[in-house]
Amino acid sequence: MRLSQSVLLASLATLAMAAKDTEPSPSVPAPACTATSTTGSYFDLRPDIAWPEDSGKAHSKAQHKDYYARGWDYGKNFTLNICNSVVAPVADVVGVSKSQWANVSAYYTSQGNIYSIGSQSLDVQSRGRKLVLQYSDGSPCGKSKSKSKSKSKSSPRSADTVYDNEDTLTKQHAHEVETYAKDDDPKDRKKSTTISFLCDRDVANTHLAVSFVGTDPDECAYFFEARSHHACASSEPHKPGSVGPGSIFGIIFVIAVLVYFLGGVFYNRTVSHARGWRQLPNYSLWSGMWSFISDMFVIATASCARFLPGRRGYSYLSANDHPRNRNSDAENRLIDQLDEEWDD
């Protein structure tokens, strides 16, 4: 009985260790540019990151150009990337130190000046049914002195107006040069960007599409909408160092088999006083099953042997040359000889 109890305790200990391994380790951080919702849905936006063409084989199939979004009636066009700085490097960014130019992830150009609307961030957040990525630490938020004047003089703009180049923007919107009032503190307020991702299951749309939604009245926070099939919920991949569902099932199966055989051997040896192969649990069942498999194998082998070319070739031999015919002739001669001797 002590042996069966030790086997049971070992099985329970193994199951406890397997269950512990399935729990996510707090020391292993989640991959960058991914998110997991409270319901367990997993989102991986890493395939949507744009990389330079010389980034190596690991990103050979990735997007190699920045994403563009038209401002439409807003009067500015935007360039941005997902979870990474823009592919085309920028310089002379207004209000951003030179050391931070390489981290700009979204910007727009106005009157020949580059304004950053957010620096690189890998922190994708799942808020309810929304998947959100936020950039911060852009150019300082300033107020345009001529903005109010230009609004009264300029004609209303249609929402369908498209601005294809900077010359058109400059001619129709002369108020785009931003200046700062004395009471504004550029260090306190900086431009930021919020990108909301939507699931797009259209097979034809292989790349992410970004659309400009709007900005706040102070033109300090910008909002975009991105559609991608990578923003659709999926199952979280297996993490290194943890045990997956298949491994858990395999461990339970192995433990059950060990308990069955070891417990059966212990019972048959101590209670039934069996020895040899008869110590196995249900020995008669396994023995009968093995005999059945052996018989079926012999039957199948004999049935297949009939169709071998060597055996079919004997049917083409002459009937006189057949050994059975020769034996019949010898028997007939012997019978005739005995009949003659009997008559004498």
pTM for this prediction: 0.57
> What is the three-class DSSP state of 25?
coil
Checking if the pLDDT of 146 tops 50, the result is no
Q: How much is the pLDDT for 344?
A: 58
Residue 30 has a CB neighbour count (10 Å cut-off) of: 14
Higher-scoring residue by pLDDT: 9, 57: 57
Distinct helix (H) and strand (E) counts, the chain: 7, 11
Average the pLDDT over each of 55-64, 225-234, 298-307 and give the range with the smallest value: 298-307
Domain boundaries, the chain: 34-231
> What's the mean per-residue pLDDT of the chain?
76
Q: How much is the pLDDT for 119?
A: 94
**92 confidence band (pLDDT: 50, 70, 90):** very high
Checking if the pLDDT of 161 tops 50, the result is no
φ/ψ of 334, rounded to 5, equals -65, -40
> Which of 3.30.70.2660, 3.30.930.10, 2.70.130.10, 3.40.50.1000 would CATH assign to domain 34-231?
2.70.130.10
- How far is 85 from 212, CA to CA, in rounded Å? 18
Checking if the pLDDT of 320 tops 80, the result is no
Instruction: Report the share of the chain in percent with pLDDT over 90.
Output: 33
Higher-scoring residue by pLDDT: 226, 61: 226
